[in-house]
Chain A
Amino acid sequence: MSEAALYGTLGVLLFSLGLYGVIARRLALRKLIAVNVMISGVFLTFIASGTRVSGTPDPVAQAIVLTGIVVTLGGTALGLALIRRIRALTRDSDRYDGAE
Chain B
Amino acid sequence: MTAWVIALGGNPNAGKTTLFNAITGAHQHVGNYPGLTVEKREGHVSVDGTDLRIVDLPGIYSLTSWSEEERVARNVLIDERPSAVIDVVDATNLDRNLYLTVQLLELGVPLVLCLNMMDEIRKSGRILHTQKLASLLDVPVVETVARRGEGKKELLLAAIELAEKKEKTWIPLRISYGADIDPVVEDISKLLDAEKDAALAPYPSRWLAVKYIEGDPEVRDLCHQNTSLGEKIRGLSDRLQAHCQNVLDVQPESLMADYRYGFINTVTKQVVERGKNDLSTRIRVSDAMDRVLTQQIIGPVIMLIVFYLMFAATFTLGEYPADWLKSFFGWLSNFSARHIPEGLIQSLVVSGIIDGVGGVLSFVPLILIMFLMVTFLEDAGYMARMAYMLDRIFRAFGLHGASVMPFVVSGGIPGGCAVPGVMAARTLKSPKERLATLLTVPFMNCGAKVPVFLLLCGAFFGNNAARAMFVITLASWAMALFVARFLRSTVIRGEATPFVMELPPYRMPTLQGVLLHTWERAWQYIKKAGTIILAISVLIWGMMTFPGLPQEVQQGFEARRQQVAVLSETTPQADAKAQMLAIDAEESAAALRNSVAGRLGSFFEPLSELAGFDWRTNIALIGGFAAKEVIVSTLGTAYSLGKVDPEEAEGLGERLARDPGWNVATATSVIAFVMLYSPCFVTVVTISREANNWKWGAFSMGFNTIFAFLVSVLLYQLVSRMI
Q: Do A and B bind each other?
A: no
Seen from chain B, the residues whose Cβ lies within 8 Å of a Cβ on chain A are: none
